[in-house]
Amino acid sequence: MTDQPVLFLDSGIGGIPYCRHFIARNPYENIVYVADRKNFPYGNREKEELASILINLTEKLIKAVNPKIAVLVCNTATLAALSELRERFQKLPFVGTVPAIKPAALASQTGRIGVLGTELTINEPYIRELAVMYGNGEIFGIGAPELVEFVETRINTASAEEKKTIVKDYLNRFRDAGIDTLVLGCTHFLFLQEEFQREAAPDITVFDSVAGITHRIESLLKENFPEENTSPDTHRKNSSHQNHLLLTGTDEPESSWITWAERLGFSLSLLEES
């Protein structure tokens, strides 16, 4: 198994649930998780600006960690820059994260699909095209930058009642709009998945893309590295196996990032500025 890592990239902690899911199935892959705290949050940036940020960051990461596959574990980043990244870095396979519109549209009985995400995500024509393609559905989107901030800064300290309250506030708005399926269209919201599922039942079904992204990564690994045994049952541990958490920016890691690195069992360091 090659020492090259699988790269997960997000503006903050949002991609961690995706990273954990992949590791659970592929424990012997080297992982680098990059939190672009220097440019957090992504959701309030113009599409062209964010694409430029991600192209520059990817160039640095290719030089710094030489990934064998790159995963944008951010819906906003994917919608803003995936096509440009694939065009610019043709030798590096990319996996994007897009809202789970297809399964939500196929499951909807009312044709009214709720999407909770950043402003850039909910205003992206592509998600409406998917809704029509797979279910003749209509998108009702709510932009929630304050929920991204809540997850990023308070998810580890907020009480159960606080989490329940903030989730119910959004669900009340979705219910008023008559939706019966809800897509968590920002990776950060996976940290509140249990709360959304509990409070949405029984009339609203909640969808996310975690399992689908893991399967897509595994498929690309098998396609691009056929000499490796990348099945979940592999017992061939890489002797140099190690996982890293990289932060952008020049400030020392905040205590929250030290805690996350410890929880993940990752080493923690800064991505060197060039």
Give Cβ neighbours of residue 29 (< 8 Å, ≥ 6 apart).
1, 5, 6, 22, 23, 221, 230
How many Cβ atoms are within 10 Å of 69's Cβ, its own excluded? 20
Instruction: Give the C-alpha separation, 120 to 122, whole Å.
Output: 6
- Residue 74 a catalytic site member: yes
Instruction: Give the 3-state secondary structure percentages of the chain, helix then strand then coil, rounded to 5.
Output: 50, 15, 35
> Using alpha carbons only, how large is the chain's radius of gyration in Å?
18
Are 267 and 244 within 8 A, CB to CB?
Answer: yes
Instruction: Give the C-alpha separation, 258 to 191, whole Å.
Output: 18
- Residue 19 a catalytic site member: no
- Of 74, 81, 144, 217, which residue is the catalytic one? 74
With CA atoms as reference, report the closest residue to 118 among 42, 47, 51, 46: 42
Are 21 and 214 within 8 A, CB to CB?
Answer: yes
- Of 51, 71, 127, 186, which residue is the catalytic one? 186
First-to-last alpha carbon distance for the chain, in angstroms, is: 30
With CA atoms as reference, report the closest residue to 228 among 3, 2, 68: 2
Instruction: Give the C-alpha separation, 138 to 250, whole Å.
Output: 44
Give me the active site residues, please: 74, 186
